[in-house]
Structure 1
């Protein structure tokens, strides 16, 4: 199980770094032209495609077992780290209150983003039939 926790941390770190880079492009280039909703909808499939690829590479690299529990640990752990990092970034980096942060999930862009983050967390389990482990 230790490998699954390591995989969770690696998966989170790699996808968070990519998300930070793509999020910067989204905010600086797409958002002013397309609005927040469309910008998020354009970014999401790119993030999920890379998340699928990154998860597969980490599963192979760390030899995460092709079993339900290690994949849930990998995806759930990465999802928990992502939610914590997003909360910290919103409150500490952007000065939002907890109420503002959680209220954002009630907007269309926030709900779409949260759904995408849920899929991100499920990807290691969804890959179960495809990976040797």
Structure 2
């Protein structure tokens, strides 16, 4: 089970790190030009690619999670860690309560963000069958 925890932590850190770096660009450079909603929506496809690649990386790096249930637990743990980190940062940096942070989200980009969170949690499981097929081809070659 410790490998699942390590994988979940690694997955969360990779995706949070990428989101943080994109946010450093989005807020000062993109938001003033196109607005917060469109800037957040423009970032979503980039984050989808990051999530896809990060899930593949953790499946390769942590072979112990390469089962349906372990990959789902890994994604679920990473989801909890990401949400906890984002809400904590919102409380500290923006001096908002959790309720204020959630209610202040744009309805459109916030809805897409919620879908992306579920994609993030499910991606290790979604990538598992492709990862296993690729791994079995390597053994044949």
TM-score (norm 1): 0.91
Offset, 1:84: 0.1
* Structure 2: tracts of 5 or more residues without a match: 136-141
CA distance in 1 between counterparts of 2:65 and 2:125 reads 11
CA distance in 2 between counterparts of 1:19 and 1:122 reads 18
Offset, 1:105: 4.5
Whether the 8 Å CA contact 1:105–1:114 is kept in 2: the answer is no
Offset, 1:50: 1.3
Partner of 2:53: 53
TM-score (norm 2): 0.87
* Structure 1: tracts of 5 or more residues without a match: none
Partner of 2:108: 108
Alignment length (residue pairs): 133
Whether the 8 Å CA contact 1:40–1:112 is kept in 2: the answer is no
Alignment of 1:22-61 (within 5 A): 22-61=22-61
Q: Which stretches of structure 1, 4 residues or more, deviate above 6 A after TM superposition?
A: none
Q: Which moved more, 1:27-36 or 1:62-71?
A: 62-71
Partner of 2:66: 66
More helix by share: 2
User: What's the RMSD between the two structures over aligned residues?
Assistant: 1.5
